[in-house]
Amino acid sequence: MIDKKFLKDLGINKSNIGTCDGINWYDSGASERTVLSPVDGNVIASVTETDEKSYERVIRTSSKAFVKWRKVPAPKRGEIVRKIGDELRVNKNSLGKLVSYEMGKSYQEGLGEVQEMIDICDFAVGLSRQLYGLTMHSERENHRMYEQWHPLGIVGIISAFNFPVAVWSWNAMIAMVCGNVCVWKPSEKTPLSAIATHKIINKILSENELEGVLSLVTDCEKKLLGKKIASDARVALVSATGSTKMGKSVAEVVGSRLGKSLLELGGNNAIIISQNANIDIAIRAAVFGAIGTAGQRCTTTRRLIIQDFIYDSFIKNLMKAYEQIRIGNPLDEDNHMGPLIDKDAVEMYINAVDRIKKEGGKALIGGGVLEGEAYDSGCYVKPAIYEVENSFSVVQDETFAPILYVIKYSTLDQAIKIQNDVPQGLSSSIMTTKISEAEEFLSSSGSDCGIANVNIGTSGAEIGGAFGGEKETGGGRESGSDSWKAYMRRQTNTINYSDDLPLAQGIKFDF
């Protein structure tokens, strides 16, 4: 039996309000959504959804808050973020358990997700003193040119169920120190983690009278709020994480009003296993990459491209490793893999397995739904391995499940071509101890992904680097490096401190 004390510690009740302006909670009186845990199939709690009136109230409050927040010096904004990070530290264990219980990822992964929130707070605090612009030399005498970065306004954050809190923090903490205010719409599948997060940060926002700086709205199964945020001209930037299908819809709506969008979409990530690889490292990276979060990461390893010389021996070792995977309650730290998010996800998994069989895939470890008392929720599935051709339509698609495809290659050029020959371009990896192979993989003729690793897997990105991908992954960048620039508008300034008005390019205009 699961000890649910963490729900009480986080202020999660049987019924919860799903709308907040950072300080005030708005009971819309709308319908309630019941949230089930994929771990045991039980009801966790219910959430009162955000209605039209409550949404408008949040947006109006956010708009007013921006007028004040943008004038607060960036280092002082960073101090607020530092305090938020400290509150997250205090509540790390409880929030990690809620993430695990509501989403289904292992408790260790839940703790890791909250740690990412803490880490990005630390990063953002430092960033608050480093929002640099360039100074340029003017071609005109007694002129100075430079650029500034100014906040955009309201940033709408649409997050996905697989990282119910971390991805919000990647966006919100950076956007905050840049002077923006944020409205968060979490996945309708994991609203409780978002509500708990807002209750944690409510203390800091209340103490500093920051009504409207960080707000929350929750959606229903019809997913109407995402469309509303995308079409709302008052929302300057929409950062959306989810499927490619969802991202295309958001981009179309935001683009039609010439708004800004930041998209983090699907991945179809591969590890190239060279004959020069450290096999022990490669096996560990492949297994965690494929079954971590039950295959529901955008950076999940979906394809292994294995050199023919070691193909048979590697597959043998891989299958032995899979035999050791323990599946069950993710709050039990002895288990490696928990459930899929819900029965809809299980249905997609089953359909993918059927497609693999129809297209001629060979089962090395066949898929299926797990049965028994420990799997009563109906959301637990077998991690599967199939030998396939990269051209199979099912391989070209992203299936959010622990299905691993294995493909054989002969030369590195062939492996890179296979790696790149999918619509998505998020994360990639090569396992090799040969420097020429590593450098070729990282070159302009190598991986076409936004993330390319050597001797580590495709998942587990650090917050210090810019996170995102190319092609149907959306092209957006979040988190570290100079990703902060996506949350600001660039302004070029020229100052004439002379008594004359020389024109650029030497143009003469006399009268």
| Contact present, 468 and 475 (Cβ < 8 Å) | yes
Q: 191 with 67: CB under 8 angstroms?
A: no
**What pLDDT does 283 receive?**
98
Percent of the chain with pLDDT over 90: 96
Helix (H) or strand (E) holding 292: none
Q: Give pLDDT, residue 78.
A: 98
Residue with tokens 């893999």: 337
Q: How confident is the model at residue 460 (pLDDT cuts 50, 70, 90)?
A: confident
Q: What is the mean pLDDT of the chain?
A: 97
Confidence of residue 471 (pLDDT cuts 50, 70, 90): very high
| pLDDT (0 to 100) of residue 412 | 98
Among residues 102, 113, 188, 264, the one annotated as catalytic is 264
Question: Mean of the pLDDT values across residues 57-74?
Answer: 98
> Could you tell me which residue, 54 or 1, shows the higher pLDDT?
54
The answer to pTM > 0.75 is yes
Evaluate if residue 220 carries a pLDDT over 80.
no
Quick check: 510 pLDDT over 90?
A: no
Q: Would you call 264 a catalytic residue per the annotation?
A: yes
Query: Tens of pLDDT along 96-123?
Result: 999 999 999 999 999 999 999 999 999 9
CB atoms within 10 A of CB 23: 20
CA–CA distance, 194 with 75 (Å, rounded to integer): 26
Q: Which of 298, 379, 437, 472 is catalytic?
A: 298
Give the residue from 44, 510, 105, 496 showing the smallest Cα distance to 296: 105
Question: What is the largest distance, in Å, between two alpha-carbon atoms of the chain?
Answer: 91
| 266-296 pLDDT tens trace | 999 999 999 999 999 999 999 999 999 999 9
